[in-house]
Structure 1
């Protein structure tokens, strides 16, 4: 047990504060090798994580690094530094706190390695970089604690895998290192605890009082939501009324493009000129920082934002959160609504705004899940091997290493506990040779084994290039946007692909303002202000979320209710009508509808597998329909269904769902597809096969894509079983195409497939006909339509009755 020193107790007393029970419990368990604290938003969990450090350093001051704090966001590290500064200064504690992120000046970074602070606040990428230096053992030798904040946000990404490997390296450098994880939203505490602990050790779990239930409901609007779309323009008047009634409102969106559109429409309706701002990751950093400062100062009434404001930063006096669009994930919703009334035992207040009619059902399902504290989450897979390859190169940068010891270190990291020696050796060989097809090229021979058995960099100068490319975050290929003219104001970034579609004079939205495209100058998009009312929209990539498996299952269960008193009348009537004319989806069964419409046969598969999986299902089912002699013409997908149209009615859908043939079709489709090439490029950058930063200069997206595609095509032809090709397939199956969700769906329903043959479009299918993103299929349908058109033209012209047999040629006169 660790007691607080008198200086800190006095500081608490002057503030009129008492320690929360979970903060006291953290002090009592200060010596635990690993500890996971789950505490509600506003419950002082970050301070709880630091209290043992403050107490130990106050009682026994010493030089050197004592505690390392890791967070997913640079802004969160900076916020913690400000918050820690107050008790340290006012309690007169001899403690130095600094942060180290990509924004830290190089001179300070160099000084931190030689003279580290007592507490260093950083990110997974900066920590991985620190472990790559030859003097890492000296910097971390005295490290006693690591505090990982918002651990749930890292646990489900490659950033978390990278962090856990770095943590394993720190444990080797500092064997008595204690690990602490902090989170407010953990769906499976045992899983996170297993990840945090040094395998095979156990991690203690401390759960604080969750506090009162949030005050969360759906926003009532005079206008019902439309059948499709994601902009929620219909709700602007009601949202503006809520903004007027509250001090500060955060208005969350799932994508950057939706945030831009909504902010533009909100600003046009803002007749009282209320101060509102916009915040997302594609905006210029200076603009984001101005908005953040205005939030903290209480100068803004509303901020339209994305996931950039999700995590645990205290953004001032926020008293309302509005989520526009279905949240797709209950954990994400809980995290976002926790931004409101960010105080212990104060209920968060939030409103959900469905963007369309089906999202009303999803929003109600999410509300029920929040009230029941039923968080969602998918079981993790094994640690990705591209991250493992990068870690081997990081270890080589720090100096010669023993492969046996490095392997033992890696399997102590949770996600890699099941890593076989054969798989490790394959990654080691890849780092040493580049793989079978590339071993003749020096540029991919990064490490070499010495006569004494240790491994080291083949060329010590390569360490600089490796360090420049450390990280798992894959940036989209973007170009900076700047106002035209000398010293023009930077606005943010847009995708290269979007810029390629622009002509001079086109308008688009960025940072809440409409700008006119003037041209591209030295890889910078130059724009000017424009007064247009209907801009072309910048296609910010961001992250497109799919509805979680658990939330999808909850929606299907809702469909089986006798009635829906919790739904608005218009949505409940819609579901009743669907039940009357067809049927509603059922748990453990797959509903498929077939009906004619607009001269074509329509097939609707209600898989509720998420957008990526439903999109993949459309690709694979149309391929299977071609194999079965049917004639599909195209498809479109949403989170809950796939609509396929074609020339022939499907009378028996069961053969289409043969999993072996579906997977074989996926392999064939993926091999030459842009999805696969994009996945390969990302994994090749992480594994170190390709570099984005060379000599301090970043390759353009076009350059990176060209070199990546050439390499992919070469490996596909000459070495299809290359390690990077294996990794690419694993990543594509797990992420971009979500084939596991299709497997899960088929395992759940088996052969229980219900085909409803109907005469017209059903209520549940109707929104699909308004959905954008239709994918045409070029196949036998095209040939049949062409033949029918030729026959029709011949019939109309009378030529069909003419004998078209070839006539004998007349002899050529001699």
Structure 2
């Protein structure tokens, strides 16, 4: 058994602590090439990751970088540095610990490269930048260990792919480097282990005691949820009552706009003046840090937040988590639940608040999955090639490279293990020349092959431009918001597209305040306070989650029960009436309803494929209907269904779902569509074809879009098989349009399509008529009008006996 160093053991003894079994296991296996620890939130997994490092460094370590810690969040890196200083300082160990993120000063960054600390805490982007410098071999010469925290969050995005390519580079520089992954919520430990380890090396997995199950339930409210919408205003009194009963409550939302709306309504109802705050990624950094500091001090009773507080930061004395809106993903729910009672072997307490009637079903399904430890996750495909192109350019910045060696290095990263040499050469040619249609332009002639066979930058000065554009995060184009006047206080950022829609006098929510748009000055949105007006809500482009495949299948299985005692009466009665009037969707089958309503014919397709896929299905089905001589007029989509309306009834929908025809329709629709152009712009920026940052300035969203659109149109016309066009099609299919879920659904269903012709709107279809854009309601009376429209629809569908929620 490996023991702690003497100063560290004394520190544990003075506190009366003993190390947990999984922490001891990490010490005992410290020499393993790759090690993955899965431990519950509050289980001391970060300390477990660092114990071998602190033990190896001892009280008087030699100079040089020993351990690199990589976090998905800058704030998490800073938090870990603060927490790690306590044992190091109190144990009297002379260990230098520093973080390096986008917030670190240029002077400190320069010093860190010349004289690195013993432990450096950073992010994937900052690490990629460090590997691009010529002196990287000297800086990382003594590196012994890399710790990747919250690895599950990185494994789901291109940031993780970029990180693993950077680790492959570090492994070349430091062959004995050991890798450690830390995670709390993993549905497939073996998949994360393969992601972490150097291919084809094995990775050892340590599973800590998961501790007690969380205490999770649905929040009981006096009013039932409304039939549609995502604001959950109906639950404000019940949420406020829970805030009163607890020390600190985190109130999670799935989007920034919903967080702003909820915070505004909560504040209006907060007659006692309880201290509450709001935290999301569009707020000004100073405002976020002010809220974080107040949380650590325990000065806030509630914080309305988004995914910005998802990960492992230990924020004060949180004893309750409330999730507003269906979590869409069981893993995300478990991660958020873990923010409460952030202590080892203490059960977390959480409440779910469905935003609308269908989300009641989804929340119950998510609760059952969480209690059964049935986590969900989508299988990731091979590593994206736009990230690979960026890595080739990063490698060139650090000095001449051998293509054979770089290919071998890249294929040691798990996601790229299946990369063929032809695919690599394709990316190398693109980086060198820009590809067939662009090789005549000097701008994209970036690499050259020397007589000795090595590749290098054609112009060494281009290294600075490449470094300025490193990263895979594609921020929404935003504009700063600040109060008007000299030295006006900054509030945060809003999307450029939202700012363009504003006229002087328009009001919107920002940081919980109602502000009035006064104008645009030097690319800054100037506002004044206007607390007396009804706000025009800013639609922040936060992540729009789709319900996972596993959760959707669980809901379908729930529909097959004879009764639903686990559901509130109003929701159980709704489903029972759907079964009586029509039919409930079933696993392995596709339910399609058609019915007339208000002189229009309607088709409702219950695909349960997630919002993106259902939206794409609506586009493709309406295109097919046009080809077949039918007359579709429009559609709306939710996570579970697509509702199409038009002039003609569809009596036999089966031909609409011909997979070959749908794929042809998708290719044709994507070719000139804005979705493709947006996807191309993102991939072209990551791959280095488009530079957002240039010397001393950053292109505006409009400038970047114009240059991107010109390039896209040029390649579409002259070189449609260009590498970037192929990458764009792959990315669009996988991400924005989620066509893989449509294909998976139709493969599973086959010819088992249940078509029902009905005389009126059905109970399950009725809420789709209330989706945004279908029922035009606006102004001060919008909630009342929406409630009246809901009542009329439910009366028509036979739901008059069920109480209607107006929230």
TM-score (norm 1): 0.95
**Could you tell me which residue of structure 1 aligns to residue 108 of structure 2?**
108
Q: 1:492-524 CA distances to partner (integer Å, 9 max, x unpaired)?
A: 000111111111111110000000000000000
Cα distance in 2 for residues equivalent to 1:774 and 1:425:
49
Shift in Å at residue 5 of structure 1?
1.2
**Could you tell me which residue of structure 1 aligns to residue 379 of structure 2?**
379
Cα distance in 2 for residues equivalent to 1:535 and 1:693:
34
Contact 1:604 1:765 in 2 (8 A): yes
Q: 1:353-394 CA distances to partner (integer Å, 9 max, x unpaired)?
A: 000000000000000000000110011100000000000000
Q: Tell me if 1:96 matches 2:100.
A: no
**Could you tell me which residue of structure 1 aligns to residue 522 of structure 2?**
522
Q: Tell me if 1:762 matches 2:766.
A: no
Secondary structure in 2 matching 1:84: helix
**Could you tell me which residue of structure 2 aligns to residue 647 of structure 1?**
647
Contact 2:60 2:95 in 1 (8 A): no
Secondary structure in 1 matching 2:283: coil
Contact 2:59 2:93 in 1 (8 A): no
Cα distance in 1 for residues equivalent to 2:504 and 2:94:
59
Contact 1:605 1:643 in 2 (8 A): yes
Cα distance in 2 for residues equivalent to 1:69 and 1:706:
39
Q: 1:705-763 CA distances to partner (integer Å, 9 max, x unpaired)?
A: 11111111111111111100000000000000000000110111111000011101111
The 5 A counterparts of 1:760-799 are 760-773=760-773
The 5 A counterparts of 1:286-301 are 286-301=286-301
**Could you tell me which residue of structure 2 aligns to residue 465 of structure 1?**
465
Shift in Å at residue 676 of structure 1?
0.4
Contact 2:625 2:656 in 1 (8 A): yes
Q: 1:649-683 CA distances to partner (integer Å, 9 max, x unpaired)?
A: 11111111111110110011011111000000000
**Could you tell me which residue of structure 2 aligns to residue 339 of structure 1?**
339
Shift in Å at residue 531 of structure 1?
2.1
Q: Tell me if 1:37 matches 2:62.
A: no
Shift in Å at residue 532 of structure 1?
2.9
Secondary structure in 2 matching 1:72: coil
Contact 1:22 1:208 in 2 (8 A): yes
Cα distance in 2 for residues equivalent to 1:202 and 1:774:
53
Shift in Å at residue 427 of structure 1?
0.2
**Could you tell me which residue of structure 1 aligns to residue 570 of structure 2?**
570
Cα distance in 1 for residues equivalent to 2:480 and 2:61:
47
Secondary structure in 2 matching 1:736: coil
**Could you tell me which residue of structure 1 aligns to residue 310 of structure 2?**
310
Contact 2:43 2:343 in 1 (8 A): yes
Cα distance in 2 for residues equivalent to 1:146 and 1:79:
18
Q: Paired residues, what number?
A: 776
Cα distance in 2 for residues equivalent to 1:185 and 1:550:
16
Cα distance in 1 for residues equivalent to 2:151 and 2:742:
28
CA shift in 2, pair 1:139/1:2, >3 Å: farther
Q: 1:135-170 CA distances to partner (integer Å, 9 max, x unpaired)?
A: 000111110000000000000100000000000000
The 5 A counterparts of 1:352-371 are 352-371=352-371
Contact 2:59 2:92 in 1 (8 A): no
The 5 A counterparts of 1:794-805 are none
**Could you tell me which residue of structure 2 aligns to residue 238 of structure 1?**
238
Contact 1:496 1:701 in 2 (8 A): yes
**Could you tell me which residue of structure 2 aligns to residue 327 of structure 1?**
327
Cα distance in 2 for residues equivalent to 1:539 and 1:640:
23
**Could you tell me which residue of structure 2 aligns to residue 807 of structure 1?**
none
Cα distance in 1 for residues equivalent to 2:302 and 2:50:
32
**Could you tell me which residue of structure 1 aligns to residue 549 of structure 2?**
549
Shift in Å at residue 10 of structure 1?
1.1
Contact 1:168 1:198 in 2 (8 A): yes
Q: Tell me if 1:145 matches 2:145.
A: yes
Q: Tell me if 1:17 matches 2:30.
A: no
Cα distance in 2 for residues equivalent to 1:688 and 1:48:
38
Any stretches of 5+ residues in structure 2 without a counterpart? 777-807
Shift in Å at residue 560 of structure 1?
0.4
Contact 1:634 1:775 in 2 (8 A): no
Contact 1:387 1:687 in 2 (8 A): yes
**Could you tell me which residue of structure 2 aligns to residue 280 of structure 1?**
280
Contact 2:556 2:587 in 1 (8 A): yes
**RMSD across aligned C-alpha pairs, in angstroms?**
1.0
Any stretches of 5+ residues in structure 1 without a counterpart? 777-814
Contact 1:2 1:52 in 2 (8 A): no
**Could you tell me which residue of structure 2 aligns to residue 750 of structure 1?**
750
**Could you tell me which residue of structure 2 aligns to residue 483 of structure 1?**
483
Contact 1:386 1:684 in 2 (8 A): yes
**Could you tell me which residue of structure 2 aligns to residue 796 of structure 1?**
none
**Could you tell me which residue of structure 2 aligns to residue 682 of structure 1?**
682
Secondary structure in 2 matching 1:684: helix
Q: 1:47-105 CA distances to partner (integer Å, 9 max, x unpaired)?
A: 00000000000077211000000000000000000000000000011211000000000
Contact 1:68 1:119 in 2 (8 A): yes
Contact 2:256 2:542 in 1 (8 A): yes
**Could you tell me which residue of structure 1 aligns to residue 420 of structure 2?**
420
Contact 2:274 2:301 in 1 (8 A): yes
Contact 1:69 1:148 in 2 (8 A): yes
Contact 2:276 2:301 in 1 (8 A): yes
Secondary structure in 2 matching 1:304: strand
Cα distance in 1 for residues equivalent to 2:480 and 2:276:
24
The 5 A counterparts of 1:218-233 are 218-233=218-233
Cα distance in 1 for residues equivalent to 2:754 and 2:775:
25
Contact 1:252 1:322 in 2 (8 A): yes
Contact 1:636 1:775 in 2 (8 A): no
Q: 1:758-804 CA distances to partner (integer Å, 9 max, x unpaired)?
A: 1011110000000014599xxxxxxxxxxxxxxxxxxxxxxxxxxxx
**Could you tell me which residue of structure 1 aligns to residue 492 of structure 2?**
492
Contact 2:59 2:95 in 1 (8 A): no
**Could you tell me which residue of structure 1 aligns to residue 7 of structure 2?**
7
Secondary structure in 2 matching 1:99: strand
Cα distance in 2 for residues equivalent to 1:641 and 1:308:
30
Contact 2:252 2:324 in 1 (8 A): yes
Cα distance in 2 for residues equivalent to 1:429 and 1:531:
57
Secondary structure in 1 matching 2:592: strand
Contact 1:2 1:55 in 2 (8 A): no
Secondary structure in 1 matching 2:580: helix
Shift in Å at residue 628 of structure 1?
1.2
Contact 2:483 2:491 in 1 (8 A): yes
**Could you tell me which residue of structure 2 aligns to residue 266 of structure 1?**
266
**Could you tell me which residue of structure 2 aligns to residue 395 of structure 1?**
395
Contact 1:2 1:30 in 2 (8 A): no
The 5 A counterparts of 1:716-727 are 716-727=716-727
Shift in Å at residue 533 of structure 1?
3.9
Shift in Å at residue 131 of structure 1?
0.2
Cα distance in 2 for residues equivalent to 1:354 and 1:343:
27
**Could you tell me which residue of structure 1 aligns to residue 792 of structure 2?**
none
